[in-house]
Amino acid sequence: MSATAPARLANLWDDAKAAGMTEPERLVYRSNLLGSDKRVTNYGGGNTSSKIMQKEPPPGDDVRGLEGSGGDVGTIKLDGFATLYQQKLEGLKQLYRGVAFEDEMVGYLPHATFNLNPRAASIDTPLHAYVPRKFVDHMHPDAIIAIAASADSKALTQEIFGDEIGWLPWKKPGFELGLWLGKFCAENPDAKGVVLESHGLFTWGDTPKACYEQTIATINEAIAWFEGKTSGKPAFGGEAVAALPAAERRAIAARLMPIIRGLISGDRKKLGHFDDSPAVLEFVSSRDLRPLAALGTSCPDHFLRTKIRPLVVEFNPANPDVDALAATLEPAIAAYREDYAAYYARCRHDDSPAIRDANAVVYLIPGVGMITFALDKATARISGEFYVNAINVMRGASAVSTYRGLDEQEAFDIEYWLLEEAKLQRMPKPKSLAGHIAFVTGGAGGIGRATAARLLREGACVVIADIDETALGAARDELAIAFGKDFVRPVKLDVTSEEQVAAAYREMAVEFGGVDILVSNAGISSSAPIEDTPLSMWDRNMDILAKGYFLVSREAFRFFKQQKIGGNVVFIASKNGLAASPNAAAYCTAKAAEIHLARCLALEGAEHQIRVNTVNPDAVLRGSKIWTGEWREQRAAAYNMQPDELEEHYRKRSMLKRSVFPEDIAEAVYFLASDMSAKSTGNIINVDAGNAQSFTR
Q: Contacts from 27-33 at CB under 8 Å and sequence distance 24+? A: 27/52, 27/67, 27/69, 27/81, 27/208, 28/76, 28/77, 28/78, 28/81, 29/208, 30/135, 30/137, 30/208, 30/211, 30/212, 31/69, 31/73, 31/74, 31/76, 32/73, 32/74, 32/75, 32/76, 33/212
Eight-state DSSP code of residue 113? B
Q: Give one DSSP letter per residue of 491-537, joined into a string.
A: EE--TT-HHHHHHHHHHHHHHHSS-SEEEE-------B-GGG--HHH
Strands (E), 527-662: 567-572, 610-617
Cβ atoms of residues 193 and 431 within 8 Å: no
d(CA 113, CA 539): 71
Which residues have CB under 8 Å from 359's CB, separation 6+? 263, 264, 270, 333, 336, 337, 340, 373
Which residues have CB under 8 Å from 508's CB, separation 6+? 437, 439, 463, 489, 491, 514, 515
Q: Which of 85, 343, 344, 587 is catalytic?
A: 587
Cβ atoms of residues 148 and 199 within 8 Å: yes
Cβ atoms of residues 311 and 360 within 8 Å: yes
Distance linking the first and last C-alpha atoms of the chain: 69
CA atoms within 13 A on the CB side of 313: 31
The β-bridge partners of 286 are 239
Query: Within 10 Å of residue 482's Cβ, how many Cβ atoms?
Result: 13
Provide the 3-class DSSP secondary structure of residue 618.
coil
Question: Catalytic: 587?
Answer: yes
The β-bridge partners of 325 are none
Query: Measured between alpha carbons, how far is residue 354 from residues 284, 300, 345, 379 in Å?
Result: 32, 20, 10, 22
Cβ atoms of residues 495 and 552 within 8 Å: yes
Query: Measured between alpha carbons, how far is residue 209 from residues 9, 205, 217, 278 in Å?
Result: 15, 8, 12, 34
Which residues have CB under 8 Å from 80's CB, separation 6+? 69, 70, 71, 119
d(CA 390, CA 468): 42
The β-bridge partners of 312 are 364
Cβ atoms of residues 404 and 150 within 8 Å: yes
Q: Which helix H or strand E contains 630, and what residues bound it? A: helix 630-638
**Residue 564 identity (one-letter amino acid):** K
Q: Which helix H or strand E contains 165, and what residues bound it? A: strand 165-168
Provide the 3-class DSSP secondary structure of residue 191.
coil
311-312 sheet: strands from edge to edge? 271-275, 369-374, 362-365, 311-312
Query: Within 10 Å of residue 175's Cβ, how many Cβ atoms?
Result: 27
- Give CA angle at 459 (454, 464), nearest 5°: 55
**Residue closest to 240 by CA, chosen among 281, 294, 268:** 281
**Residue 653 identity (one-letter amino acid):** R
The β-bridge partners of 465 are 441, 491
Provide the 3-class DSSP secondary structure of residue 44.
coil
d(CA 689, CA 324): 54
**Which residues are the active-site residues?**
587
